[in-house]
Structure 1
């Protein structure tokens, strides 16, 4: 995984082992709440993501942590979502998809990796932006959601690029568009949603590093500098590219702005579409 590879390289740089402690559950909120309450000494770092550290603040009313509990350090890796349809689908473009959805309200379904995931919210954003009536079919994780679209059980999906790239290359899925501000190097001929006239789709899913809010500035700087140095390691860059992701390492201020923007934008969508999860 991106995290374990990063931990190995960071450990080599710091000369001490880095322990990766997986805390799955509740959309990443379990691990986040543990780090929010951890000693602010730089020895406990959260690998958060768009779900745990942007979407969850609005999706879950009973969250046991808040945005102010963390200091963002830098992003680790980011992934675009790719709008895909089964290769046998008559839908050849975003325009075709919107036309088909308007022609048959409530008939087109999209799969997601679960309620509240970016694969779900991108579909809801299309519903809102294009004014279409489509059906959301959540699956338990990315792999079954991707297999559903490959099998034609659903009609479209905003899949994580990592999940669909192999199937696009193998000719099982057709890529219509990607999210994010720029085209993806792995799919250079596939336009962005923004190019196709859909605003608000300039977002990507990200994973990034956070520490408890009261961590001393000198510790924050040392951690961030070391993380950024590792993220610029050619071996890390190559591995993350192979995964279909973009290696991180942006300045803390820039990453903080992206985290806050996503918190506000996804929060607005969740409130307007009444998508709260508890």
Structure 2
């Protein structure tokens, strides 16, 4: 089977390498950067470089571009994809992308599926592409009522063959609400945390906790600002929530209130421990609050 990867940066390049390493499929690569194409060919990440008009050869095409570019590329080259083939984007937000691409591809017979491989590094570009980043990671599929079941099954099986540890199916909306907390908020917090003036005195005083919290501060601001804005309501909810909790810690510190501070820290510890169980159930009132909030975000 011929699989095309459009955009061979960190994620697209890693996907090329993973497909070549774990399967016998033919990988065709498309990128506007000639140096990236040359490197991909030289290291064997792709079998051949192609231009958009050659996408018609492919059974599956992965669009591994920034959100805005994903949409514009699909619109500009919609006639290049073969009817019956599968097109999947890998963008970190789903609702906006699905809303744009599904009605674009449906009339052409192309079977579009929104996906999100939950993997990455704090670096960007093909130079850092590594097929190992997918090992044990989650691969999220975001079908709608119009998604072809066979296309979904094909991508599910392919993801498993590439070493993903968990294949998750979600609606685009639920994906975006969860990602606002598990990924986007973490990048905002890390990026804000590193702005302390004390940063310049950290040498010799930092260990694992500093490195853990600041790792994703080294981000691609162009891509992440777009992702944040495309998921604004959900991310604003998570920001407001954490700001509220930080204010509680600050108030306890300002008041010298050890009892309250201890309870706040204990609550956070218990929540972390419960989350590690996997099937932990939140307190009923908190579950209801979460459901109500998610309903408001819909």
- Higher helix proportion (structure 1 or 2): 2
Per the normalisation by structure 2, the TM-score is 0.29
* Larger of the two Rg values belongs to structure: 2
- Higher strand proportion (structure 1 or 2): 1
Per the normalisation by structure 1, the TM-score is 0.30
